[in-house]
């Protein structure tokens, strides 16, 4: 349930305010050079502390606990762990009775019969995406020379992101955003018809990122309003290069050798500084709730590197799968 | 690779112009009443032969080959098969050299090293969704009293669907569409944080349906332009009923007891009657291709029932999983 | 639950007295030459009709229902089916109340809440091993030039198998046997430490064959009585060839390049012509039961080819896995 | 590859001389009371330091790193870790060129292309079974009131175990042993026909324990020499209690409500104090190797509690699966 992948498999664990956040990677090929410094750049991109993001800033120092020897992966499970140090847990008890709107407080309790660790969102917290980013660093080494680049192209409905963020901070509110991701040099023929289509696998992992509410590939939603004669991409080379890329680099669920392109929508952070009306489960009455704590005004600012990691993880798995089927 | 699910598992097989299209269901609980007549209504909704759809009309008579005894499921794998009878295969050989734009002709050949059955799209064909619909009929019995309803709400960019279809037929072109799906009476607490979030599992299966290029849950793409104070749904009951449903019935990847709501975009059918420019792999030159054969002007017309089946399959799996964790 | 394998995956379905017995193979590489005649030799070795085996002789004509095109596998799921024609079902109803000793009549009913198809043992029947043998034929093509050979080396406790069988027929009883299997030219380094050790995977599949009650690798049970100095195999070449083979070709769960050797014990057929004492679930009293029907005096005679198929399936999966990890 | 189970899933990681040995448990139901003291008794049974076992004695203090809150499991992945402290790694480098006979030195290098951590056997070491024992402690809580008890019934071919061990120590050699395991109060109907038979799943996990070379259920190997009329167990109650238990508590791959009984053979420890002849990969010549370090004279002494854990893990998974199929 907390695992993803067939050959390059990631297992996610940990809690926001528990001891650690971790990721266990199975199926990583042996002999990949790997050192803790390799993780720094991507981990830094995910960190809070910048304008519009949370003031909780964890050191995010990766500890390689297993599967690593003489500076290389060994082929045994690679365990990557991050300790939690900047927690302030005292105030979460109240959310058991007065669930925060838009959060998983109530659903988590319903699923786990009230036994879930609710501090800081527990196992549901975006804190755990630190592990995804770390797995992405490893996956990128497997898929070379594929390059993946995601960026926030819009926030709060505006193209001027900085302005939108400043406005939201001022209003003690939060905003969402649109992220676009492109992967270049993806070989053709990755993916499977039907259940393991490239769209299926990528969307599966992208929707694991807290806050994502929509995804579209290539022309995406706009496709629905196009004619076939407009939408079809003209092939212009034997390798399958196309003149346009309405398909987003995918035909029949398989990569077609053109850039893989998709966009996703991130909702605004649920926890906002403003008082909000919510429901008291004990009294059965509505009441105002003021959420203290440190939250992202625009969580979407921190998500592009997580999106890149997700794509790298999917492509690493598909590339290993393709190698197994070479004839 | 052609399997989906953990406890209620479906395995898809068959080809468009081969002997059969089939679905093998493992993990179906024993004792479910099931007869061939149960499949008729949903299979009929998927059929061609109506305005804007293909003139290839298969009988779609389900054959229950295993896992069934005395009118009930037995708990052993349930094999459902459909014979193919209305094929016209002669004209597909040409697409090996002159791939149809927007189709999987080239990518399928790249993936399977040219050994794929290319007639009618082979294993990539929408023909195989007949099996998904059949599995959906079984899944609906497991998830009672959940009700699922999908409908085409827009085609070719227009709300007047009939008009849009007629126009496309006249233009010898094709159009896409937007489908909305709602599931009611879904119990809260289904799904998992992270990898098996409800959005992850539903999108995984929805993107298995040929032609789907986008999906959004609840407020979806619009979320990205909303403030947190607008987007958060006000809880109004102990069970978690909310006043609005921007979350689409999902918080933290788990169902929250409100209606599950999502929309998807279907691209226009790639095969159109008009001549189209494409690339001749042998000569290395562009040339016009006229695709004969019977194709859907608006394949989106046939997809709602497949979407419902996909949701039923996901929810059946999650409900069985939830039963296993009851404390 | 009815699936085995990670990359070369087999899904088993069907019933003894239902329409068919089938096997669905996913992950079979494209381009393998395959024709129905390829299956004949192995299927013939599994058939009844010979001395000591059942008089139910099915035609066992394989029907390739999908995944096959122009005489080769396509890479899409390969569905192999066998119709059942020689059933005589009338007499099984009685076993619901008076379960046959040593059979799954009672446990199957307990598991499936009485909804199981009990005719001829239903989904529990050795009839389904016809699919395993068929999958083995495909797997052998993948693992070339590995050769696998299993043979019955003892029946009813005697090395003179024919004599033991004749004696058991005369006594209207049944006997078990010991089968030895050897695989040559197995490359080193297949398997995984811990959960997917070669012994783990082979034993998993071997114990899927009805009637198997024990397995030992290399020196096996005798190892327990040996000294380390006796048991350790002396390495005599850079490739790892050893002077003795007490390890049965496996060290640390991985193949070591020496012949893979194991033995298994098959219990005597539970259904025997003699009257046997059993329990009437309705009356709560013991009574004698005379089992009519056609049964094997020594089912172990038919099992060697199934054992070979099981090993081929495991090795095919491990070889594909190894290819995916090539560095 | 380092994962086992469908609903109660264990992921094993770590190395003998690395930082840690760990086990990650997914699918553990929420609300199970769990404290570190619960692990002590079973972990103590596995420890070295007693006559005939290694003098490497690790503290084996379990650290619960995730999935635990207020003294109970939360339903999120439960991570259990053990730090390694008593390593002496200096002498292992030599085994890269001069592989120890009977060990995985050469096969591990062949599998992982020489990148494996070879100190103390790395990821192949029995050290990692500490995690299995820990997972067993958790699993036992799920399967209550099932009781499981394994014991060493023979070592070095003798029933007088102490004497056999003393003799082996004196001879600077090692010995194997036979372990018998019984589980009582196992409910009927667990397991699956074919691939997930109880024998398949138990043998899969038992053969994951380093050193196991054979397993037999019920009458086991002796079955092969019995008549059907002798082997069949007489049913004597409506629940399926039998007068004898040749079946070892399993019919048709499913538990039948009688005690689950099996035996396994453990080979003698490969590493012995005596000099042994082996092969120098560099020179291509045989030479004597004297293995220093701390090793078990009779590793079988430490295995019973690991066997119990393995059975508990399998039964926990099957019980959760059964709950999911309740009708």
The pLDDT tens digits for C129-175 are: 999 999 999 999 999 999 999 999 999 999 999 999 999 999 999 99
Decide if B324 touches D, using CB distance below 8 A. yes
Decide if D151 touches A, using CB distance below 8 A. no
Given the DSSP bridges, would you call strands C63-66 and C68-69 parallel, antiparallel or unpaired? unpaired
CATH code of the domain containing B174: 3.60.150.10
User: Where do we find the tokens 């003031």?
Assistant: A55
CB within 8 Å: B215 and A232: no
User: Could you tell me which residues come within 8 angstroms of residue C74 by beta carbon, excluding any fewer than 6 positions away?
Assistant: B112, B115, B116, B117, B122, B123, C30, C67, C68
How far apart, in whole angstroms, are the C-alpha atoms of residue B176 and residue A244? 18
pLDDT at B88 over 90: no
Decide if C159 touches D, using CB distance below 8 A. no
| Helix D198-206, helix C198-206: angle, nearest 10 | 170
How far apart are the CA of D70 and the nearest CA of chain C, in angstroms?
32
How far apart, in whole angstroms, are the C-alpha atoms of residue D143 and residue D137? 10
Average pLDDT, chain D: 95
pLDDT at A133: 98
CB within 8 Å: A13 and D113: no
Positions in chain A whose pLDDT score sits under 70: none
Residues 92-131 (D) with a CB less than 8 A from some CB of C: 99, 101-104, 106-108, 110-111, 113, 121, 123-124, 128
Smallest Cβ distance to B251: which of A107, A223, A228? Answer: A107
Assess contact for C298 and C53: CB atoms under 8 A: yes
Assess contact for C8 and C139: CB atoms under 8 A: yes
pLDDT at B91: 73
**Which pLDDT tens digit goes with each residue over B273-293?**
999 999 999 999 999 998 877
Decide if B7 touches D, using CB distance below 8 A. yes
Decide if D232 touches C, using CB distance below 8 A. yes
Decide if C156 touches D, using CB distance below 8 A. yes
Best mutation site among D325, D326, D327 for testing chain B: the one with the most B CBs within 10 Å?
A: D325
DSSP string of A258-284, one letter each residue: SPEEEEEEEPPPS--SS-EEEEETTTT
How far apart, in whole angstroms, are the C-alpha atoms of residue B110 and residue B123? 14
E strand residue ranges, chain B = 3-4, 9-14, 20-26, 63-66, 68-69, 72-73, 78-83, 147-155, 177-184, 212-217, 250-251, 254-255, 260-266, 276-280, 285-289
Structural domain boundaries enclosing B281: 3-324
Assess contact for A80 and A131: CB atoms under 8 A: yes
Please give the C-alpha separations between residue C324 and each of A254, A327, D4, D42, D223, in angstroms, as whole numbers. Answer: 19, 12, 20, 38, 41
SS3 content of chain B, % helix, strand, coil (to 5): 30, 25, 45
Quote the Cα angle for D86-D92-D94, to 5°.
165
Q: Where are the alpha helices (DSSP H) in B151-197?
A: 161-170
CB within 8 Å: C7 and A324: yes
| C-beta atoms surrounding B261 within 10 Å | 21
Assess contact for B213 and A223: CB atoms under 8 A: yes
3-state secondary structure of D21: strand
pLDDT at B55: 87
User: Where do we find the tokens 């999958």?
Assistant: C135
Entry pTM: 0.98
3-state secondary structure of B71: coil
Best mutation site among B10, B13, B114, B141 for testing chain C: the one with the most C CBs within 10 Å?
A: B13
Q: D282-320 in b/e burial notation, b at 16+ Cβ within 10 A?
A: eeeeeeebebebebbbbbbbbbbbbbbbbbbbbbbbbbb
DSSP B285: E
Decide if C220 touches B, using CB distance below 8 A. no
Assess contact for C116 and B30: CB atoms under 8 A: yes
Total structural domains within chain C:
1
Cβ-Cβ contacts under 8 Å, D11 against chain A: 3, 11, 24, 26, 77
How far apart, in whole angstroms, are the C-alpha atoms of residue D324 and residue A148? 41
Smallest Cβ distance to A2: which of B107, B192, B247? Answer: B192
**Structural element, H or E, at residue A182:** strand A177-184
Size of interface C-D (CB pairs under 8 A): 362
How far apart, in whole angstroms, are the C-alpha atoms of residue B146 and residue B144? 5
User: Looking at residues C34-50, what average pLDDT do you find?
Assistant: 95
Decide if C195 touches A, using CB distance below 8 A. no
Q: Give me D147's structure tokens.
A: 């009781």
User: Could you tell me which residues come within 8 angstroms of residue A247 by beta carbon, excluding any fewer than 6 positions away?
Assistant: A217, A218, A219, A233, A256, A258, B102
Best mutation site among A21, A252, A265 for testing chain B: the one with the most B CBs within 10 Å?
A: A252
First to last CA, chain A: 33
User: Could you tell me which residues come within 8 angstroms of residue B144 by beta carbon, excluding any fewer than 6 positions away?
Assistant: none
How far apart, in whole angstroms, are the C-alpha atoms of residue D6 and residue B168? 49
Share of chain D above pLDDT 90, in %: 88
Chain D's closest residue to C128, CA to CA, is D194
Evaluate the omega torsion of the peptide bond into residue D246 and state whether it is cis, within 30 degrees of 0.
no
How far apart, in whole angstroms, are the C-alpha atoms of residue A312 and residue B58? 41
E strand residue ranges, C58-166 = 63-66, 68-69, 72-73, 78-83, 147-155
Quote the Cα angle for C80-C82-C88, to 5°.
160
Identify which of D52, D283, D262, D54 has the alpha carbon closest to the alpha carbon of residue D168: D52
pLDDT at A50: 87
Cβ-Cβ contacts under 8 Å, A65 against chain D: 13-14, 18-20, 22, 81
User: Looking at residues B241-265, what average pLDDT do you find?
Assistant: 98
Smallest Cβ distance to A115: which of D75, D115, D116? Answer: D75
How far apart, in whole angstroms, are the C-alpha atoms of residue B134 and residue B114? 31
Evaluate the omega torsion of the peptide bond into residue A161 and state whether it is cis, within 30 degrees of 0.
no
Q: In terms of C-beta density within 10 A (0-12 exposed, 13-18 middle, 19 or more buried), how is residue B180 classed?
A: middle
Cβ-Cβ contacts under 8 Å, B248 against chain A: 213
CB within 8 Å: A279 and B235: yes
Best mutation site among D6, D34, D79 for testing chain A: the one with the most A CBs within 10 Å?
A: D79
Decide if B189 touches D, using CB distance below 8 A. no
CB within 8 Å: B22 and C66: yes
pLDDT at A13: 98
**Helix (DSSP H) and strand (DSSP E) numbers for chain D:** 7, 15
pLDDT at C286 over 80: yes
- B87-101, B223-237, C179-193: least confidently modelled range: B87-101
Smallest Cβ distance to D324: which of B31, B321, B327? Answer: B321
How far apart, in whole angstroms, are the C-alpha atoms of residue D12 and residue D4? 9
pLDDT at B2 over 90: yes
pLDDT at B327 over 80: no
pLDDT at A292: 79
pLDDT band of B326, cuts 50, 70, 90: confident
Cβ-Cβ contacts under 8 Å, B178 against chain A: 221, 224
| Helix A304-324, helix A198-206: angle, nearest 10 | 140
- Dihedral sign (CA D85, D88, D89, D92): negative
CB within 8 Å: C24 and B12: no
Cβ-Cβ contacts under 8 Å, C29 against chain A: 325, 327
Decide if B79 touches C, using CB distance below 8 A. yes
Size of interface A-B (CB pairs under 8 A): 363
Residues in a beta bridge with B3: B11
């Amino acid at each position: 349930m907390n695992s993803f992948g067939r050959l390059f498999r990631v297992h996610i664990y940990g809690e926001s305010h528990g001891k650690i956040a971790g990721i266990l990677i199975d199926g990583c090929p042996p002999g990949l050079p790997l050192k803790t410094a390799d993780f720094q750049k991507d981990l830094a991109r995910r960190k809070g502390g910048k304008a519009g993001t949370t003031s909780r800033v964890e050191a995010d120092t990766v500890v390689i606990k297993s599967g690593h020897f003489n500076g290389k992966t060994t082929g045994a499970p690679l365990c990557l762990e991050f300790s939690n140090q900047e927690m302030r847990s005292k105030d979460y008890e109240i959310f058991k009775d007065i669930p925060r709107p838009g959060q998983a407080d109530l659903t988590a309790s319903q699923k786990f019969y009230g036994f879930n660790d609710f501090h800081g969102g527990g196992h549901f917290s975006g804190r755990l995406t630190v592990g995804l980013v770390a797995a992405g660093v490893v996956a990128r080494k497997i898929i070379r020379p594929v390059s993946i680049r995601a960026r926030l192209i819009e926030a709060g409905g505006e193209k001027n992101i900085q302005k939108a963020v400043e406005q939201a901070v001022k209003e003690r509110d939060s905003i969402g955003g649109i992220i676009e991701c492109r992967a270049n040099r993806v070989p053709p023929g990755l993916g499977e018809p039907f259940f393991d289509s490239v769209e299926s696998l990528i969307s599966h992992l992208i929707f694991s990122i807290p806050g994502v509410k929509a995804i579209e590939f290539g022309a995406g939603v706009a496709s629905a309003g196009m004619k076939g004669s407009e939408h079809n991409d003209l092939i212009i080379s034997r390798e399958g290069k196309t003149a346009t890329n309405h398909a987003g680099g995918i035909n029949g669920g398989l990569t077609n050798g053109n850039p893989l392109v998709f966009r996703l929508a991130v909702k605004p952070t649920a926890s906002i500084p403003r008082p909000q009306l919510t429901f008291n489960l004990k009294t059965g009455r509505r009441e105002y709730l003021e959420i203290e704590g440190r939250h992202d005004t625009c969580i979407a600012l921190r998500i592009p590197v997580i999106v890149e990691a997700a794509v790298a993880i999917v492509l690493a798995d598909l590339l290993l799968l393709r190698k197994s089927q070479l004839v």
